[in-house]
């Protein structure tokens, strides 16, 4: 494993844009779908393709130790307070891949343009397409980390993000400190917000004896979480 | 007059914007909220009557159907668009003071936060309920909200935050606003915000969604 340097992922050539069924689901439709809305979603997904400029990268770091009762993972001279749940899942990890990815701000801009023209539905759908695409991109980055790990005979974990599973979002500052700021396409603001908005960050464990496990959501009260009970 | 008003309410309820709008399919080619409101004004129907007895009634029905899960966000957004088309014709009457809206609502996403879409949905619903909404945008400092209250005495304030880090700024904003205007009413919302947090920071009301915000304002 080559640690400490930025790997830029090859996401440009992978299909990232949101899928129609997911967008319709986010609009509230389950079985009966309004035909007009369905056609609009198809058209806007098509239009969005030119508006998605995916970029993603990851940095590998060797883990010094994972202390489950403290909920901490030690790396270099830093420690991440990921809390007990995440620490337990990563107990057997030898390396962590820190990743950040974004679809750029073009969709966001398009969404705002439509909203300010008064085309509320179109603006809203563009926003959903952006969110879904950002999630898809995180999945692509996850796959790339897996391929890299497997080429070295190692396994990977699920991915965990600051702001989820009781991991405080302010830990984004530590996460971003591991990236060479001049080479990345995301800025972290003073309030730990990533700009562009449609960006995702997180960690993925890597190790010989690591298993990919679903999130352990039984004890969590976050009913609105999109990862809830996701396999 | 009755008939025209109920036609306008129908257009708002079903999201028929204007004659060229393809939505909803069963009203294709018919006149929409845009043309009918213009006609109503030309016929001398008072703007206030159009607002209260057509537009707000249409939007009320939308709100009820949405909370009963009979319609989804897309229909609600189409209704809001139809409502806005009608409101365009009423604007001169708002400006001249001939029509009074129910009140003023100042909305902003707090300092350090750039999230826009949730705030916009809230804004739209509150406008639909007959309020004048002053949208200060995103990344808004408390001073700007305070200046806006100064210009619009008695306006109710709504603040939005989407990250736990910017919830800290929400807390400070509420404190600053309350220090300057202890009487002001501040409503808070956004995905990570909760009733508990609202109580903790001394805000007056927490709304998980636009419908709850509208219900609160109705009771005012
Ligand atoms: C889609 C989504 C994303 C998308 C898009 C982001 C975006 N916001 O555009 C993506 C995948 C990119 C993403 C990324 C991240 N996300 Co996210 N995301 C969500 C999700 C699922 C929905 C947000 C959304 O757009 N909803 C739709 C809009 C319309 O709803 P809304 O803004 O909440 O507004 C509604 C209400 O809240 C209310 N409302 C809003 N404002 C106001 C104001 C007033 C006055 C009133 C009355 C009402 C009101 O009315 C609105 C309409 O119903 C939420 C969880 C959830 N289910 O809400 C998490 C959530 C916002 N994300 C979260 C996090 C942590 C992140 C990341 C930091 C994760 C990471 N490390 O990568 C990043 C941050 C991105 C950044 N730029 O910094 C957390 C934030 C809380 C926290 N811990 O700080 C949430 C709450 C999930 C959670 N853990 O519970 N996310
Ligand atoms: S629901 Fe599951 S994935 Fe979501 S925050 Fe809770 S534990 Fe994490």
| pLDDT at position A149 | 97
B86 and B157 housed in the same domain: no
Residue A226 has pLDDT above 80, yes or no: no
B108 and B211 housed in the same domain: yes
B108 and B212 housed in the same domain: yes
Q: How confident is the model at residue A130 (pLDDT cuts 50, 70, 90)?
A: very high
B128 and B59 housed in the same domain: no
Please state the rounded mean pLDDT for residues A15-33.
88
B52 and B116 housed in the same domain: no
| pLDDT at position B148 | 98
pLDDT digit string (tens) for A28-61?
888 888 899 999 999 999 999 999 999 999 999 9
pLDDT digit string (tens) for A186-199?
999 999 999 999 99
Long-range CB contacts for residues A64-73, cutoff 8 Å, separation at least 24: A66/A90, A66/A91, A66/A93
Number of the ligand 2 atom closest to the C-alpha atom of A85: 7
A199 ligand 1 Cβ < 6 A: yes
If one residue of B109, B114, B118 were mutated to test the ligand 1 pocket, choosing by the most ligand atoms within 8 A of its CB, it would be B118
Pairing of strands B156-160, B104-109: parallel
Q: Nearest chain B residue to A23 by CA: give it.
A: B74
Q: How many separate helices (H) and strands (E) can be counted in chain B?
A: 10, 5
Measuring from atom 22 of ligand 1, which residue has the nearest CA? B191
Q: Tell which residue, B88, B81, B217, B201, has the closest CA to residue B155.
A: B217
Chain B hits for A193, Cβ within 8 Å = 112-114, 163, 165-166
**Residue A173 main-chain phi, psi, to 5 deg:** -60, -45
Structural contact between residues B35 and B88, judged by C-beta atoms closer than 8 angstroms: no
Question: Which of B73, B96, B119 is the C-terminal boundary of a domain?
Answer: B96
Considering only CB atoms, B165 lies closest to which of A118, A120, A191, namely: A191
For chain A, give the mean pLDDT: 93
- What percent of chain B is predicted at pLDDT more than 90? 90
Instruction: Give all strands (DSSP E) within B96-140, no chain letters.
Output: 104-109, 132-135
Pairing of strands A194-195, B132-135: unpaired
Stretch 71-110 of chain A: residues touching chain B, C-beta under 8 Å = none
Number of the ligand 2 atom closest to the C-alpha atom of A228: 1
Question: Which of B75, B96, B117 is the C-terminal boundary of a domain?
Answer: B96
Considering only CB atoms, B25 lies closest to which of A36, A124, A191, namely: A36
Question: Which ligand lies nearest to the CA atom of residue B124 in the structure?
Answer: 1
Q: Measured in Å, how far apart are chain B's first and last C-alpha atoms? A: 30
**SS (HEC) of A76-89:** CCEEEECHHHHHHH
What is the DSSP track for A148-182?
A: HHHHTT-EEEEEE-TTSTT--GGGHHHHHHTS-GG
Q: What distance in Å separates the CA atoms of residue A14 and residue A137, rounded to the nearest whole number?
A: 9
Q: Model ipTM?
A: 0.93
Query: How many domains does chain B fold into?
Result: 2
The neighbouring-strand residues paired with A61 are A96
Q: How confident is the model at residue A162 (pLDDT cuts 50, 70, 90)?
A: very high
Q: Report CB contact under 8 Å: B117, A168.
A: no
The neighbouring-strand residues paired with A97 are A60, A204
| pLDDT at position A210 | 94
Determine the angle formed by the axes of helices B142-151 and B164-180, rounding to 10 degrees: 40
Q: Tell which residue, A50, A160, A54, A161, has the closest CA to residue A102.
A: A54
Q: CA-based angle B119:B124:B126, to the nearest 5?
A: 95
Residue B141 has pLDDT above 80, yes or no: yes
Q: What distance in Å separates the CA atoms of residue A197 and residue A104, rounded to the nearest whole number?
A: 8
N residues, chain B: 220
> Is A28 within 8 Å of chain B by CB?
yes
B114 and B212 housed in the same domain: yes
B86 and B44 housed in the same domain: yes
Determine the angle formed by the axes of helices A120-151 and B73-96, rounding to 10 degrees: 140
pLDDT digit string (tens) for B100-136?
889 999 999 999 999 999 999 999 899 988 899 999 9
Range of the domain at B91: 2-96
Q: Tell which residue, A200, A226, A199, has the closest CA to residue A215.
A: A226
| pLDDT at position B9 | 97
Considering only CB atoms, B165 lies closest to which of A118, A119, A192, namely: A192
B148 and B191 housed in the same domain: yes
Question: Which of B65, B80, B96 is the C-terminal boundary of a domain?
Answer: B96
B189 and B113 housed in the same domain: yes
B72 and B154 housed in the same domain: no
Whole-number Å distance, alpha carbon A134 to ligand 1 midpoint, is 13
Q: How confident is the model at residue A229 (pLDDT cuts 50, 70, 90)?
A: confident
Q: What distance in Å separates the CA atoms of residue B47 and residue B87, rounded to the nearest whole number?
A: 10
Q: What distance in Å separates the CA atoms of residue B129 and residue B76, rounded to the nearest whole number?
A: 13
A230 ligand 2 Cβ < 6 A: no
Q: Report CB contact under 8 Å: B114, A197.
A: yes
Chain A hits for B115, Cβ within 8 Å = 197
Q: In sequence order, what are the residues at sequence separation of 6 or more whose Cβ sits closer than 8 angstroms to the Cβ of residue B219?
A: none
A225 ligand 2 Cβ < 6 A: yes
SS3 content of chain B, % helix, strand, coil (to 5): 55, 10, 30
Chain A hits for B191, Cβ within 8 Å = 224
Q: What distance in Å separates the CA atoms of residue B9 and residue A161, rounded to the nearest whole number?
A: 46
Task: Quote the tokens at residue B140.
Answer: 């808004």
CATH number for the domain harbouring residue B29? 1.10.1240.10
Pairing of strands A155-160, A199-207: antiparallel
Please state the rounded mean pLDDT for residues B46-52.
94
Confidence (pTM): 0.95
B55 and B92 housed in the same domain: yes
Structural contact between residues A99 and A175, judged by C-beta atoms closer than 8 angstroms: no
CATH number for the domain harbouring residue B202? 3.40.50.280
Chain B hits for A192, Cβ within 8 Å = 163, 165
Q: Report CB contact under 8 Å: A27, B115.
A: no
B109 and B214 housed in the same domain: yes
Q: CA-based angle A176:A112:A184, to the nearest 5?
A: 20
pLDDT digit string (tens) for A72-129?
999 999 999 999 999 999 999 999 999 999 999 999 999 999 998 999 999 999 999 9
Chain A hits for B72, Cβ within 8 Å = 27-29, 34
Structural contact between residues B87 and B17, judged by C-beta atoms closer than 8 angstroms: no
Considering only CB atoms, B80 lies closest to which of A27, A120, A169, namely: A120
Structural contact between residues A227 and A86, judged by C-beta atoms closer than 8 angstroms: no
Q: What distance in Å separates the CA atoms of residue B128 and residue A185, rounded to the nearest whole number?
A: 39
| pLDDT at position A231 | 58
**Residue B163 main-chain phi, psi, to 5 deg:** -130, 150
Whole-number Å distance, alpha carbon A51 to ligand 2 midpoint, is 30
Task: Quote the tokens at residue A88.
Answer: 């337990």
| pLDDT at position A121 | 95
């Amino acid at each position: 494993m080559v640690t400490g340097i930025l790997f830029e992922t090859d996401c440009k050539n992978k299909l990232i844009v949101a899928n129609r069924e997911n967008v319709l689901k986010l609009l509230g439709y389950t079985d009966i779908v309004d035909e007009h809305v369905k056609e609009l979603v198809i058209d806007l997904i098509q239009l969005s393709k030119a508006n998605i400029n995916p970029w993603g990268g990851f940095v590998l770091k060797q883990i010094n130790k994972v202390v489950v009762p403290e909920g901490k993972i030690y790396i270099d001279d830093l420690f991440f307070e990921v809390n007990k749940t995440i620490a337990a899942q990563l107990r057997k990890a030898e390396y962590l891949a820190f990743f950040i990815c974004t679809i750029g701000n073009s969709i966001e801009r398009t969404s705002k343009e439509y909203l300010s023209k008064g085309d509320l539905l179109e603006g809203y759908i563009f926003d959903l397409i952006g969110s879904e695409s950002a999630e898809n991109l995180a999945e692509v980055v996850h796959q790339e980390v897996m391929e890299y790990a497997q080429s070295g005979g190692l396994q990977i974990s699920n991915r965990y993000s600051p702001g989820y599973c009781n991991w405080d979002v302010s830990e984004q500052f530590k996460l971003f400190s591991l990236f060479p700021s001049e080479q990345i396409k995301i800025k972290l603001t003073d309030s730990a917000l990533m700009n562009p908005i449609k960006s995702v960050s997180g960690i993925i464990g890597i190790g010989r004896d690591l298993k990919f496990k679903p999130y352990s959501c039984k004890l969590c009260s976050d009913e609105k979480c999109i990862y809830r009970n996701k396999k | 007059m009755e008939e025209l008003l109920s036609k306008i309410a129908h257009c708002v309820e079903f999201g028929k914007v204007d004659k060229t709008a393809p939505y909803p399919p069963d009203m294709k080619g018919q006149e929409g909220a845009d043309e009918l409101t213009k006609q109503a004004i030309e016929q001398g129907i008072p703007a206030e009557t159009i607002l209260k007895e057509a537009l707000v009634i249409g939007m009320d029905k939308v709100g009820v159907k949405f909370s009963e899960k009979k319609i989804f966000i897309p229909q609600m957004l189409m209704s809001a668009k139809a409502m806005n088309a009608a409101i365009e014709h009423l604007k001169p009457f708002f400006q001249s003071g001939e029509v009074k809206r129910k009140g003023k609502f100042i909305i902003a996403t707090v300092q350090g936060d750039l999230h826009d879409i949730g705030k916009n949905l809230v804004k739209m619903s509150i406008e639909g309920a007959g309020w004048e909404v002053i949208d200060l945008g995103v990344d808004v400092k408390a001073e700007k909200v305070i200046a806006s209250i100064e210009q619009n005495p008695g306006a109710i304030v709504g603040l939005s935050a989407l990250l736990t880090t910017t919830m800290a700024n929400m807390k400070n904003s509420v404190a600053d606003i309350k220090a300057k205007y202890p009487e002001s009413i501040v409503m808070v919302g956004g995905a990570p915000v909760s009733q508990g947090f609202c109580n903790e920071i001394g805000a007056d009301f927490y709304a998980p969604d636009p419908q709850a915000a509208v219900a609160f304002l109705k009771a005012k």
